[in-house]
Amino acid sequence: MSGSEGKTVAVVGTGVIGRSWIRVFTRAGLEARVYDLDPARSLAAVAWARASARQDERQGFVPVGGAQEESHRIVPCSSLDEALDGATWVQECGPEDLDIKRRLYRELDERAHPGAILASSTSALDMTRIAEGLAGASRCIVAHPVNPPHVVPVVEVLPGAETAQEVVTATLELLTDVGQSPVLMNRFVPGFLLNRMQAALVREAVSLIGSGVASADAIDAVVRDGLGLRWALMGPFGTGHTNADGGVGDYYRRYGAAYRSLWDDLDPDPDFSDAVIDRIHEGTEAIYGPDATRTLGEWRDRMVRRIRALKVEDPPPSAD
């Protein structure tokens, strides 16, 4: 049960991210009022959320009866005003386009209750620019999830230049209450945290393919059966902390020169041509099979949940 249970939120935009946010909120006991400019997409998202909850119940990730409870908390809306009615939190999931975001935020700021927080799922845009000139800029904030947010809990939180501190605090509290893991950023940087670090790894993986160093299977294997096993438990600094008896400081001082040598050797501009992309695609299909994206994604979601459950059962030691 969450401290936000019983509150009303609005999900505006119902693509892959928006439909997953519906699950996050309704699973935590909130009413989700759902709206999209395309009524067919909105209805499809609601149907997906209900089917997803039923599947989770069958697999034991949702208590018996939980899917029906979630379904009752979903309110499809035919207008933006209807969706915003009574909402104390608005999760905006519109297209990743600054001009569109700015127009949408003008509407949200004009129509939403003055006390409602306006949170954006944007994966790349700065809230300072989105909310520039808005009377309610102080209540606007980025809450960028990892896809899909109902499975992966991290949400990157980024205030704009005019975002009020109480909005930052309330955002962190609400996201925690609904079962997510908010991470507060100090300032804007392109790609935020997750996509920026992911892009660095993908850049080198593409370079290794393009330069003929290794196959897609080999590259996936060293992440899947090597780095990823550690990173599922700890980040790069936690991993470094366990790699030397003296901790991460000892580790980086000992291997700092080696890291610098590798950084100097990394390819800043790998070949990302269609030919290289085709090799990556063919190599990946050879691992997982053709037309396996849906079943592979479902397997991924099940395994992520099981790993999360194991981490709850056997948490890491902490300084507390």
User: Is 180 found in the same domain as 204?
Assistant: no
What domain count does the chain have?
Answer: 2
> Using the 8-state DSSP alphabet, how is residue 8 labeled?
E
User: Is 102 found in the same domain as 201?
Assistant: no
Examine the pLDDT at 320 and tell me if it is beyond 80: no
Q: Which pLDDT belongs to residue 3?
A: 62
Q: Which residues of 176-215 are buried (b: 16+ CB within 10 A; e: fewer)?
A: bbbebebbeeeebeeebebbeeeeeeebbbbbbbbeeeeb
Q: Which pLDDT belongs to residue 294?
A: 87
Percent of the chain with pLDDT over 70: 98
Which of 127, 160, 184 terminates a domain? The answer is 184
User: Is 103 found in the same domain as 15?
Assistant: yes
Which of 184, 211, 232 terminates a domain? The answer is 184
Examine the pLDDT at 176 and tell me if it is beyond 90: yes
Which CATH number fits the domain that encloses residue 280?
Answer: 1.10.1040.10
Domain interval for residue 244: 194-313
User: Is 138 found in the same domain as 48?
Assistant: yes
Contact 210, 270 (CB under 8 A): yes
The burial class, CB within 10 Å (0-12 / 13-18 / 19+), for 78 is exposed
User: Is 265 found in the same domain as 146?
Assistant: no
| Domain contains 319 | no
Which of 184, 211, 236 terminates a domain? The answer is 184
| Domain contains 2 | no
| Domain contains 136 | yes
Instruction: Taking the CA atoms of 241, 244, 250 and 252 in sequence, report the sign of the dihedral they define.
Output: negative
For residue range 262-306, list pLDDT tens digits in order: 999 999 999 999 999 999 999 999 999 888 888 999 999 999 999
| Domain contains 290 | yes
| Domain contains 236 | yes
- Given pLDDT bands bounded at 50, 70 and 90, which one contains residue 1? very low
For residue range 202-212, list pLDDT tens digits in order: 999 999 999 99
User: Is 207 found in the same domain as 130?
Assistant: no
Residues forming a β-bridge with 118: 90, 140
pLDDT higher at 1 or 143:
143
For residue range 216-236, list pLDDT tens digits in order: 999 999 999 999 999 999 999
User: Is 112 found in the same domain as 244?
Assistant: no
Q: Distance between CA atoms of 63 and 26, rounded to whole angstroms?
A: 13
For residue range 106-137, list pLDDT tens digits in order: 999 999 999 999 999 999 999 999 999 999 99
pTM for this one? 0.94
Q: Distance between CA atoms of 132 and 216, rounded to whole angstroms?
A: 44
CA 10 to chain centre: 18
For residue range 72-114, list pLDDT tens digits in order: 999 999 999 999 999 999 999 999 999 999 999 999 999 999 9
Which CATH number fits the domain that encloses residue 12?
Answer: 3.40.50.720
SS (H, E, C) 122-148: CCCCCHHHHCCCCCCHHHEEEEEECCC
